Amino acid sequence: MNEHTLTILFGLASALAWGAGDFSGGLATKRGNVTSVVLISQIAGGLFLLLLALVFRETVPPSGDFLFGALAGIAGVIGLLALYSGLAHGRMGVVAPLTAVASAAIPIVYSLFAEGLPPALQIAGFALALIAVWLLSGASGDTAVQRVELGYSLLAGTGFALFFILIDQANETAVFWPLTAARLASVTCLAIFIAVRGIWQRPTREQIPLIVLAGLLDALGNAFFALSARFGRLDLAAILSSLYPATTVLLAQIVLHERLNRPQWLGVFIALLALILITI
């Protein structure tokens, strides 16, 4: 199996894991405090990544990789807090797709400078995938974006994009150790944020399994993304991983019997077309 194929497979696996993790986390937060749920899920995911590093006897990377991993974790948690703030102060149908598109577009631009232009068909596939991400995320029919929505969305998207870029710099010699460092940094930042704001709320016993599942799936998504970026171009890994809303909305339809709206079905079709162009 060549490296291009591995990049595609790991990128899609990341989208599946992240989408399922978001679905599990969404169920867990229906009756709980969001930041508390995220903190516990991040701890569970971090322990899982540490276990993977030990089980696979992964070589301990140089300190620079740990630094990049920690910076990635800080960027990721800033993006997470900005996203939740945007969802609280703006419209979900605007903030979610803007964040998703920004988090995918910034690594693409970065890769153009760092790695050069990809083939023309892949560029077309990237453009279609960005449209699909927007539609799948539940883009609002009202296109008038408020300043607060734009600000939080760009901050969140930039945070997630920097996570992609920084973790790509840290995975040359190891995958799980830099991700463990990223999770340690994100947990520390979240714990400080919760303590300062005084917003801790203990989850119920029924929530714990969903929270842990969300953390494990998110950690798997991180690992699959790092592997995808390691075997191929960062822009290809980022755009494939960013298709995670497709997994979330499809699980919502299957498990919760939520019906996809017309734009989301169009997003599914466009995503499939984008995959064909990207994989040619």
182-224 per-position pLDDT tens digit: 999 999 999 998 999 888 888 888 889 989 999 999 999 999 9
Q: What is the DSSP letter of 90?
A: S
Cα torsion through 245, 67, 232, 264, rounded to 10? 10
Structure confidence at residue 217 (pLDDT): 95
Per-residue pLDDT at 46 exceeds 60: yes
144 band by pLDDT with thresholds 50, 70 and 90: low
> What is the rounded CA–CA span in Å between residue 160 and residue 272?
24
Q: Which of 23-37, 172-186, 233-247 has the lowest mean pLDDT?
A: 23-37
Q: Are 153 and 41 in contact (CB under 8 A)?
A: no
**CA distances from residue 82 to 137, 154, 202, 235 in whole angstroms, order as listed:** 17, 9, 22, 23
Secondary structure (DSSP) of 124-188: HHHHHHHHHHHHHTT--S-----HHHHHHHHHHHHHHHHHHHHHHHT-SS-SHHHHHHHHHHHHH
Domain span including residue 48: 3-279
Per-residue pLDDT at 136 exceeds 70: yes
- Interacting residues of 85 by C-beta distance below 8 A, sequence separation 6+: 152
> What is the rounded CA–CA span in Å between residue 266 and residue 274?
12
Cα torsion through 69, 73, 74, 76, rounded to 10? 130
Q: Are 228 and 237 in contact (CB under 8 A)?
A: yes
Torsion sign across C-alpha atoms 16, 92, 108, 270: positive
Structure confidence at residue 182 (pLDDT): 96
Structure confidence at residue 85 (pLDDT): 83
Structure confidence at residue 160 (pLDDT): 93
> What is the rounded CA–CA span in Å between residue 243 and residue 20?
12
**% of residues, the chain, pLDDT over 90:** 50
Per-residue pLDDT at 31 exceeds 70: no
Count: domains in the chain = 1
Structure confidence at residue 70 (pLDDT): 96
Q: What is the mean pLDDT of residues 167-180?
A: 92
Cα torsion through 231, 22, 271, 259, rounded to 10? 160
Residue that wins the pLDDT comparison between 25 and 46: 46
**CA distances from residue 257 to 20, 124, 193, 249, 251 in whole angstroms, order as listed:** 16, 33, 35, 10, 9
**Structure tokens given for 150:** 């734009």
Q: What is the mean pLDDT of residues 47-56?
A: 95
Q: What is the mean pLDDT of residues 38-45?
A: 92
**Structure tokens given for 264:** 């989301």
Structure confidence at residue 143 (pLDDT): 56
- Interacting residues of 266 by C-beta distance below 8 A, sequence separation 6+: 135
Q: Are 187 and 120 in contact (CB under 8 A)?
A: no
